[in-house]
Amino acid sequence: MKTMYMNSLSSSGFSEVTAKNATSAGMDKRKSSAAPLAASQGPQLSDVIINKWENSWFLAVLGAIIQTEPNTVSALWKKPHEQKRGDTDSPDFWELPREEATFQLTDYTGNKIEKTGKFKDINKDADYYGDPGYWFLAGLETAALQMEGYMGLDLKHFSWGSPADAFMMLTGKLATVEYIDSEDQLAKWVSKSSSTPVVFGTLDKTTNWKLFNDNRWYTGLGNAKEGRVSYRDIQHNMNKDCSLKDAKKNFWMVAHYDDETI
C-alpha cells in the first residue's frame, strides 16, 4: 500500500537567516566568529547526528543523499565567488573557516530559495560534529527552520515531519512514503539504497532496542551481506546491520524518490 505525505501549505513569505531574525528565533552566540563547514572531503555520514530535535525524518534523508549523491550535497551550499562551483577537490573548499554561508533549499512549490546565516548566530540547539565545530549540518538545519510551508519546522526547532518533505527541500524532487508489505519488498529497497537515497522508518514498539528506536527514520546503506540489512543509526553515530527478518519486524515504512521503483 502506497501513501503520499503531502506538504502543509503556507501563504507567508520567506525570511532570510540574519542576525536580526536570529535573535528572535532563540539563537545562541558562538565563542568564535568562524569555523569550517566540514572536513576537506566535504560532509560525511559521520557528521550527521541527531541530538535534541525529533528530526530523523530530515537527517536520515540528508545521510542518504550524502551516501549516494555527493554532488547534490555539494549543491546545497552556494559556493563563494572565489570558488568554482563543483570544485570539490580544492583543499580549502570545505575546511576553510567561514563566518557565514548561504544554503540553497527548495520550497514546497519547487522553487529554489537561498538562506544566508552567520556561524555565530546559528540555532543554539542545532547539531555539531568534530572538534573544529563543523557547521554544515547546523547551518543547514538553521536555514531549514526558515522554510515555511513544511510540517515539522518553525523558527526555533524541528518537530515530527515527513521524509517526503526532506527530499523536496534538499533535492527539489518529489518523494513517496509507503508501507512495507513483505520481506521481499524490503529486500529490494535495501538493495536499492546502496545507489539511490532510501530511508526506512519504524513505528511504536520496536522489537529490539539495541538495534532500533521507536518512531525513527534510518538511512539505508544496502546489503551488509546476503540476507542482512545495513543501515545508519544517526542517534548513536554508527552503522548497524541485522537480519532481513529482524528488519521487517521493525521497518514498517520506506521513503524514496517518486521515480524509483522496484
Q: What is the DSSP string of 95-161?
A: TS-BSEEEEEEE-TTS-EEEEEEEGGGSBTTS--BTTTTB-HHHHHHHHHHT-TTSTTB-SS-B-S-
Q: Is residue 204 part of a domain?
A: yes
Query: Of 170, 198, 214, at which residue does a domain stop?
Result: 170
Tens of pLDDT along 85-111?
Answer: 455 545 457 888 889 999 999 999 999
Domain identity same for 36 and 151: yes
Domain identity same for 136 and 48: yes
Domain identity same for 19 and 78: yes
Residue 73 has pLDDT above 70, yes or no: yes
Domain around 249: 174-257
- Average pLDDT of 59-83? 88
DSSP state of 46: G
pTM summary value: 0.84
Residue 72 has pLDDT above 90, yes or no: yes
- Average pLDDT of 42-57? 89
Q: Is residue 151 part of a domain?
A: yes
- Average pLDDT of 43-56? 88
- Distances in Å between the alpha carbon of 63 and those of 44, 113, 178? 8, 21, 19
Domain identity same for 183 and 224: yes
- Average pLDDT of 206-225? 88
- Name residue 207's amino acid: T
Domain identity same for 134 and 250: no
Q: Which three cell numbers stand for residue 111?
A: 522553487
Residue 205 CA to residue 185 CA, distance in Å, equals 22
Domain identity same for 159 and 134: yes
Helices 163-171 and 56-68, interaxial angle, to 10°? Answer: 50
Domain identity same for 157 and 204: no
Residue 252 CA to residue 236 CA, distance in Å, equals 21
Q: Kindly report the CATH number assigned to the domain that includes residue 253.
A: 3.90.70
Q: Is residue 70 part of a domain?
A: yes
Domain count, the chain: 2
